[in-house]
Amino acid sequence: MRPPRLAIGALLLFYLVAHLIFLPRTLEDLDSINFALGVREFDVARHQPHPPGYPLFIALGKVSTAAFRAMGVAAAAPRGLAVWSAVAAAAALPMLFLFFVALEARARVAWWATVITAAAPLYWFTALRPLSDMTGLACAIAAQALMLQRRPRALAAGALLAGLAVGVRSQTAVLTFPLFAFVLLRRDEVLPVRARLAALGAAAAGVLAWGIPLLIVSGGLASYLQALGSQAGEDLGGGVVLLWTHRSPRVAFAALQNSFVWPWDWWPGIGMCVLAAAGALRVLWRAPRAMLLAAIAFGPYAVFHLLFHETQTVRYALPLVPLVAYAAVAALETKRALPIGAAAGLVAVVSLGLAFPASWTYGREGAPVFRAFDDMAATAHGGEPVDTIAMHAGARRAAEWVAPILPARVAKAPHGREWLTLVALWRARPDAAVWFVADPRRTDLSLFDGRARTLARQYRWGFIEPPFVGGARPGPVDWYHMRQPGWMLDRGWSITAEVGGVTARDRSGPHLAPAVAWVKARNDEALLMIGGRNLSGPPGAPATVLLRLNGQPIASWAVAPGFFMRRVPVAAGALGGSGYMAIEVTAAHDPVIPVSLEQFDVQGPGVPMFAYEDGWQEPEYNAVLGAGWRWMSERSVLWVRPVGRAVKLTLRGESPLRYYDAAPQVRIAIGDHAIGSFSPSSDFDETFELPADLLASADGRVSLQSSRFFVPGGEGGSGDQRHLALRIWSVSVE
């Protein structure tokens, strides 16, 4: 029994209205900014939009944006793009129903699969975004449905739409042309040769309709291919994590999660995948032809997506949502209508319960980075001075879009080395006030004295990211006020694992070229702390570390293989002058021994400092988690500078129940005196007061002892033999 047309009409009307009222007030993902810039001025070479160009989507955006502006609609640029996602999502549903019916002629399964698809968190939310994904999918689904109707005119219409769809979103070719080839080549008396040739002509006409204008406005074929090659180089050059270029079980597992689980949220996604697996086997058993058609329609895209997409960007999995929905409903099907309706309805309600609040927040607040820029403009309008706005490179395109409202010049910095632009700025203008838009997953701001940095505000999405905006760039951001730092580090350091990776790629480090620290001029005495590792390993030879201040040696010592930490007093007047003084660090040995510089601080009298000493492991970093940390062993030592008063020590770390079955007991002590203890059973943030007299008597050595630890490689094994007790995100003193 087919559902009544009135019900279908009500569903489509509800769907469209529910999305139109939540159209976003800002752009968000980098692609959406590129699209908006393309609507303003089309230039593929300047990534307006990014290759391959999306000419038909840009044309639609130009029409709707102009119309919205003429009607006085606020935020016409993002809403002029997003409106096509809403319209396309609603328009795709009847065509999706038609496609599902063409598979098995099971109207009840087709109806509920369409309902579940419409309510799926990824499908629902992508229908709000100012991106081409939903519009492209709608065109592809319509083309597929028409191709399966076994009528000459429908086949020609589907072929024409398939050709046009590539001009909306290029990836639709992987959805439509394999099925088109199958329909053309299979034996079917209903489709004569003339009809098949006409369909080929229609597909070619669809491609030429946008392809010829695209080449003309791009300056010819050579110019267009050059722009296209630059995009391919970025994707395949290693900077983007693709399964094709990063072939490992971990990346493959993450790709499967991002493609099939996260589009529904975590636990609902696992349930949907279990149902879909059972349903796929059921369809294969009862209707092999339907499974073959589904495999031809969606299989090539699934393979292409898993291998060549950055699957962390969850929206790329959008075309796989209908396939999972149909297979899941096939598993739920019974002879009676009530059970399948109740089960499918429950799935839809759960999905909408996840998607609707996220949609409301998204439409009301917009993207984090644009909220940050709006607040900067308002703060500057209120009179707070700023000389330069700097940022991690991921926010640079967004800054280009909002440039007219920004209250100061934007410092353009190379990706991955943004801190060097700030070093150059403060060397030239030591009094410059900087507002910095930081990616919270990055750790390079550790290259500046943290006491000169104040967190003004944090900006987050306001909902869980993966089902809705997973992989969006830029994502969450932090706004920092930064003033002249007491010190800043140039090239050659490894203060964090992220920065150490840059140093390794640049083939720098103190054993190859001087690592420079720029220290603010001052007349009083100071204490310098430096630490790191001799990486030669036992039984390697010691390296000689030499510090020079303005070219003059101030300290030198031998560093044996392993960790080291050194405190160097700097006499009053040695840093006298103006601006910044250069401290060069070199590590000498013949042949070269690699040395990693992982700790640094310089402070005047009375300012607390700390350093990692015995029992701490090297800094680590996970780009996916966007977090850096150090492991402490079962007994680790921190040096905390005695300053004649009590010092507060704060430890932030991960819940140890991620790797233990019970919480460990952690004891903090100075010498024989217990300062405190705690037993963490979740992520922790613990603060302890360290008495001045105890710190002074112990020369600042504070011990941390854990009742539990583990060996990653197994006791006595050949793998990692480190003793790991707690993962510590950060240590601070004040």
Say which residues have a Cβ less than 8 Å from residue 97's Cβ, sequence separation at least 6. Answer: 8, 110, 111, 114
| Amino acid 229: pLDDT | 74
Q: Domain residues of the chain, as ranges?
A: 29-365, 368-482, 486-603, 606-734
Contact, 198 vs 151, CB < 8 A? no
**pLDDT tens per residue across span 75-118:** 999 999 999 999 999 999 999 999 999 999 999 999 999 999 99
Query: What's the whole-number mean pLDDT along residues 624-640?
Result: 91
Which pLDDT value is given to residue 190?
A: 84
Could you give phi then psi for residue 506, rounded to 5 degrees?
-80, -5
pTM of the model: 0.92
Judge contact between 31 and 47, C-beta under 8 A: no
Give the span between the Cα atoms of 420 and 676, in whole angstroms: 41
pLDDT of residue 719: 80
pLDDT band at 236 (very low <50, low <70, confident <90, very high): very low
pLDDT digits (tens, 9 = 90+) for 24-38: 999 999 999 999 999
Indicate the helix (H) or strand (E) that contains 543: strand 543-549
Q: Do the beta carbons of residue 444 and residue 498 sit within 8 Å?
A: yes
Q: pLDDT, tens digit, for every residue of 131-152?
A: 999 999 999 999 999 999 999 9
Place of tokens 């597992």: 253
The predicted pLDDT at position 645 comes to: 97
Q: Which CATH superfamily is domain 486-603 in?
A: Galactose-binding domain-like (2.60.120.260)
pLDDT higher than 60, residue 235: no
Selection from 62, 67, 61 nearest residue 82 by Cα: 61
Phi/psi of residue 316, nearest 5 degrees: -65, -15
What's the pLDDT tens digit per position in 302-360?
Answer: 999 999 999 999 999 999 999 999 999 999 998 787 789 999 999 999 999 999 999 99
Beta carbons within 8 Å of 572's beta carbon, 6+ residues apart: 523, 524, 525
Rounded to an integer, what distance in angstroms lies between the CA atom of residue 482 and that of residue 450?
9
The pLDDT assigned to 359 comes to 97
Higher per-residue confidence, 643 vs 713: 643
Q: Comparing C-alpha atoms, which of 167, 137, 161, 163 is closest to residue 149?
A: 161
| pLDDT surpasses 80 at 623 | no
What phi, psi does 538 have (nearest 5°)? -65, 145
Give the Cα separation of 602 and 521 in Å (integer): 11
Rounded CA-CA distance 256/331 in Å is 21
pLDDT reported for residue 534: 94
Q: Are 206 and 161 in contact (CB under 8 A)?
A: yes
* Contact assessment for residue 75 and residue 25, using Cβ atoms and an 8 Å cutoff: yes
Is residue 529 predicted with pLDDT exceeding 70? yes
Whether the domain at 486-603 and the domain at 606-734 fall into the same CATH topology: yes
H/E element, 684: strand 684-690
Kindly state the greatest CA–CA separation across the chain.
96
| Interval 412-419 mean pLDDT | 91
4: CB partners within 8 A, 6+ apart: none
pLDDT tens track for 569-592: 999 999 999 999 999 999 998 889
Closest CA to 113 of 456, 348, 373: 348
Question: What is the structure's pLDDT at 300?
Answer: 97
Q: Which CATH number fits domain 606-734: 3.30.70, 1.10.3720, 3.30.2320, 2.60.120?
A: 2.60.120
Residue 234 has pLDDT above 60, yes or no: no
382 has pLDDT over 90? no
Q: Among 581, 583, 596, 624, which Cα is nearest to 508's?
A: 596
Give the pLDDT band (50/70/90) at residue 539: confident
Q: What is the pLDDT of residue 238?
A: 45
d(CA 407, CA 6): 54
Give the per-residue pLDDT at 240.
77
Confidence bin at 230 (pLDDT 50/70/90): low
484-506 tens-digit pLDDT:
999 999 999 999 999 999 999 99
Cα separation, 435 vs 432, in Å, equals 10
